[in-house]
Amino acid sequence: MARQTEDMLSMSVNQKEGIKIYSEMINSDAYEVCREVKIILNRIEMISGIDADQQFDIKVILSELLQNAIRHGNAMDSNKKVRVDVWIQDNRELFICVADQGPGFDVKHAFGGRKKSADCDALSMDESGRGLLIVQNLCDDIQFNSAGNAITVKKRLDKH
């Protein structure tokens, strides 16, 4: 695993002022991803009492990050795992860090080249590639490691 990834992971685990919600290695498997997303959501709900809209957003964010990690990062390789760390700071900021064991990707390309589907003709549209756009819109901050195989997002849990 790249040095930057290790640094990011150790940072996430050692959040001194945060409440650690979850820290596990997940297999590159769809069933396991769904099961762990539910576990994480339940824990967040117990600690922060999020409402239904926030629950929806967080479920989408978690699912998108994990789908990207197992499908694009680990290429569904059953020998590769995904590291997930979730913590809450000051009872109002949720952090999710997802790191895969793939080669990483070009972050600038991922964000720079993406256009909303409205710009495209339906017949020439891609089926995939909307995950990060959705995450970007539902989160308050996104950070990547330089290798592009670990992402940390922040979402405020303030009541709207």
Partner 1 sequence: MFELVLGNSGGNEKLVFLRGEIDIYSAPDFRENLFQAIGDCKEDIVLDCSELSYIDSMGLGIMVAALKRAKQNDSNVRIRNPKPNVKKLFKITGLDKVFIMEDSK
> Which residues contact partner 1 (rule: CB under 8 A)?
30-31, 33-34, 37, 53, 56-57, 59-60, 63-64, 66-67, 115-120, 122-123, 125-131, 133-134, 137-138
Please state the closest distance from residue 139 (CB atom) to partner 1, in A.
12
Shorter beta-carbon distance to partner 1: residue 103 or 129: 129
- Closest to partner 1 by CB, 90 or 126: 126
Q: How far is CA 79 from CA 5, 68, 101, 105, in A?
A: 18, 16, 10, 20
Kindly state the helix (H) or strand (E) to which residue 131 belongs, with its residue range: helix 131-138
- Provide the minimum distance between the beta carbon of 60 and partner 1 in the complex, in angstroms, as a whole number: 5
CB of 86 to partner 1, least distance (A): 18
- The nearer residue to partner 1, 19 or 134, going by C-beta atoms, is 134
Residues 156 and 131: their CA atoms lie apart, in Å, by 20
User: Closest separation between CB of residue 93 and partner 1, Å?
Assistant: 21
User: Is there a contact between 16 and 89 (Cβ–Cβ < 8 Å)?
Assistant: no
Which two three-digit tokens encode residue 136? 């970007």
**The residue to which tokens 């993406």 are assigned:** 114
Nearer to partner 1, 91 or 117 (CB): 117
Q: Are 99 and 9 in contact (CB under 8 A)?
A: yes
